Amino acid sequence: MRDTRHDVVGDRRALLLGAGVVCALFAVGAAAQTAWVYGQVLPDGPGAPFLDRLLANAVAVVVDLVVLVALRTEVRRRAWERGSALLVAAVVAAGARVAVQLAVGVHEPAATREVLVELVSGLLAAGAANVLGLALLTSRQRLRRQVLATAASRTQIRLALDALQHEEVRVRREVAEGLHGSLQQRLVIVTARVQALADRLSDGPATPADVAELRAVARTLEQAREGDVREMSRMLYPEGLEVGMVPAVRSLLGRLPASIATRLVVADPVRRLDDPASPALSRSERLLAVRIVEEGVTNALRHGGAGSLEVTLGLERGGLRLTVRDDGVGLDPERAAEPSGTARLGDRLELVGGSLELRPGSPGGAVLTAWLPVTADAEDGVTAGVTAAGR
């Protein structure tokens, strides 16, 4: 995440404030102390007026801050770059301080020892001031990153809640349509047939036709239970999910018509991860994985006219890699550009750090590929040994 211009200006102020305050204190304190030492303790030493020393120190402070700004220390990211900038600024400031001292007569050019002491003391003072300024700058940048991370986390949570609410509304709508549509129609027809049968029985004993009618009503009720009610139950919670992800996917493929050839390929690490005796996948991870396979199967049958399907479950980069291949007519570019369940599912995966891709197959059909991160300690990559089940 790149810093804005406002952030850079604020960082520069923090750096200059920290370094400038310490340098200014050193400038005044060192000038006063040195003038007093030379004037009182060593009256015969190379004394110099206080203002001359203060001038030299003030020039050093200004030079140090100017060099820090010129080197753009506040935008450096690598530690060695920042350290180099601080060192260069301290060296230049110490050199400027000694140069001004020599220019105004604080020291004679021949006083090598005194000049060297002034150079080292100025270098240490400027270096310490720069380090403090860098600490203030780093603290400010760290605080800003924490604020941005908190804001991003809140945004992520809000998006996740929106996606969950959207999914809940979608499921509720489909269940309501199923109840109001096929199930209600079946029940209305059954009620009418039962009422008609009751009217006939009220006029006399039951006939073989009445018995046949009762059996037909029973078959209709069984179809409603097996078809509509059970299908809506699966819509809310896939069958076999409590046992594991692999059994739920196998149950999903097993409900397809016998004319659709299916093949389920499961990597051995996935079977170990989804072992019903000690499941490592959370319920939400299993549910999302099954929804991905459902979406691939639905697309293949509803839009692709597929005659065969292959579902592959593997591990890759510490997450589940799910692939659904079909031999249908392939992708329709116009339909692919429209909002769809696949796009919504891709948004859900992005919220948890995953990805989803729908692309044309080779030589034909379509391939839906998804990667879902898991919280379990999954192995990286897929081992060579896999077990397959087909029909």
pLDDT digits (tens, 9 = 90+) for 156-168: 666 655 665 566 5
Give the pLDDT band of residue 388 (cuts 50, 70, 90).
very low
Specify the pLDDT at position 293: 92
Same domain, 167 and 103: no
Specify the pLDDT at position 119: 83
Cα 77 to the center of its chain, rounded Å: 23
Specify the pLDDT at position 320: 93
Q: β-strands 366-373, 319-326: how paired?
A: antiparallel
Q: Indicate whether 387 belongs to any domain.
A: no
Same domain, 146 and 27: yes
Round to whole Å and give the CA distance between 78 and 236: 52
Q: Indicate whether 303 belongs to any domain.
A: yes
Same domain, 68 and 209: no
Q: Indicate whether 384 belongs to any domain.
A: no
pLDDT mean over 82-105: 85
Specify the pLDDT at position 321: 95
pLDDT at 370 over 90: yes
Round to whole Å and give the CA distance between 25 and 35: 15
Same domain, 107 and 250: no
Query: Can you read off the two tokens belonging to residue 321?
Result: 């890699």
Burial class (CB in 10 A: 0-12, 13-18, 19+), 236: exposed
Q: Indicate whether 228 belongs to any domain.
A: yes
Q: Indicate whether 388 belongs to any domain.
A: no
**Per-range mean pLDDT, top range of 6-15, 144-153, 170-179, 292-301:** 292-301
Specify the pLDDT at position 1: 45
Q: Indicate whether 378 belongs to any domain.
A: no
Query: Last residue of some domain: 94, 123, 156?
Result: 156
Same domain, 82 and 179: no
Round to whole Å and give the CA distance between 214 and 388: 45
pLDDT digits (tens, 9 = 90+) for 263-316: 999 999 999 988 888 888 888 888 889 889 988 888 888 777 788 899 999 998
Burial class (CB in 10 A: 0-12, 13-18, 19+), 382: middle
Same domain, 227 and 209: yes
Q: Which domain holds residue 180?
A: 160-236
Same domain, 172 and 139: no
pLDDT at 384 over 50: no
pLDDT mean over 173-198: 68
Same domain, 91 and 193: no
pLDDT at 383 over 50: no
135, 87 contact by CB (below 8 A):
no
Query: Last residue of some domain: 236, 261, 284?
Result: 236
Where do we find the tokens 């659709």?
A: 260
Same domain, 206 and 220: yes
Same domain, 2 and 147: yes
Same domain, 5 and 135: yes
Q: Indicate whether 386 belongs to any domain.
A: no
Q: Is 305 helix (H, G, I), strand (E, B) or coil?
A: coil
Round to whole Å and give the CA distance between 251 and 272: 19
Query: Last residue of some domain: 130, 156, 182?
Result: 156
* Domain total of the chain: 3
Instruction: Give the CATH number of the domain where residue 299 resides.
Output: 3.30.565.10
Query: Can you read off the two tokens belonging to residue 314?
Result: 């593997």
For the sheet containing 261-267, what is the strand order?
Answer: 355-360, 366-373, 319-326, 308-316, 261-267, 386-390
Q: Indicate whether 347 belongs to any domain.
A: yes
Same domain, 3 and 151: yes
